[in-house]
Structure 1
Amino acid sequence: MTAPVKLQHYSALSEARQNLISLYADVRAELLHLPNYRVDVFAERLDRHAVEPGWQAVIAYAGDATVGYAYANTVQPDDRWWGRMTTPAPAAYAAAPAVAVKEIGVATPWRGRGVARRIHDALLATRSEPNATLMVNPAAGDGKVQRLYERWGYAVIGVVQPSPESPVLACMARPVRHGEGS
């Protein structure tokens, strides 16, 4: 784990699909027995998300090994992303296109090293949308994952259950250029 981490951007799923699926299976290994976390369900979501406008992925490599990933796409004000929330999304976030971070994960040996933040920031660095949004299971990591996103500037703006099989998630948002110039 001494190899430097390099980030690679992708705008075509065909170039990244197998690495994303393999990384997902590694990152989510302890959850794969749950219906919404199965690898085939992830692959279906990935394929669906990748044809949506503004799809992009960033994969982190240490030497030849893949160690982390994130992907996102653009959501419009009338997107079902916002429509499934239990209360209307605040207009400050949902009135214009936003970048929705759909997945982010880092292999266990690489956690706690800033890799997730580097991937996340690289993913947002080229985006033109004013705001970023993501959904997180408040129970993930006994709440550590949501607290991590809060440290990155995200705030809970609502609650959503994307599908009957999924857990209830917190929808979080922040400006894309959070903290620049501060």
Structure 2
Amino acid sequence: MELAVRAPWCGHGIARRLHDVVLEGTGVERVLLNVLPEAESAQAAYRSWGYRKVGETRSWDGAALHDVMVLDLVTG
């Protein structure tokens, strides 16, 4: 799944709300995502939401390198 917010709507909390709605009620322990290293604003948003980088990947031969980030939803 990919989520994106058009430029005119950036900075209004819409991406965060979309993220939270998608995860609401899933009951999962953690969320894993891939993000391009040069996507600095997305990287910053994910970090501010609690994600941390755990590695790097190329999803298929010839794919761009992506950072792998994880968000732990269950604590304890």
> After TM superposition, is the score higher than 0.5?
yes
Assess if the C-alpha contact under 8 Å between 1:130 and 1:177 holds in 2.
yes
Equivalent in 39, 44, 61 of residue 147 of structure 1: 44
Q: Give 1:171's aligned amino acid.
A: V
Give 3-state SS (helix, strand or coil) of 1:139's partner.
coil
Q: Which has the higher contact order (CA 8 A, sep 6+)?
A: 2
Q: Percent identity?
A: 31
Give 3-state SS (helix, strand or coil) of 2:3's partner.
strand
Give the gaps of 5 or more residues in structure 2. none
Give 3-state SS (helix, strand or coil) of 1:109's partner.
helix
Count the aligned residue pairs: 75
RMSD over equivalenced CA pairs, Å: 1.5
Once the two structures are TM-superposed, the CA of residue 129 in structure 1 deviates from its matched residue by: 1.2
Q: C-alpha offsets along residues 118-149 of structure 1, whole Å, 9 cap, x if unaligned?
A: 00011111111111110100102xx2211110
- What is the 5 A alignment of 1:30-45? none
TM-score (norm 2): 0.88
TM-score (norm 1): 0.39
Assess if the C-alpha contact under 8 Å between 1:158 and 1:171 holds in 2.
yes
Q: Give 1:108's aligned amino acid.
A: A
Pair 1:135-2:34 in alignment: yes
Task: Extract structure 1 runs of 4+ deviating beyond 2 A.
Answer: none
Q: C-alpha offsets along residues 26-47 of structure 1, whole Å, 9 cap, x if unaligned?
A: xxxxxxxxxxxxxxxxxxxxxx
Considering fraction of residues, name the structure with more helix.
Answer: 1
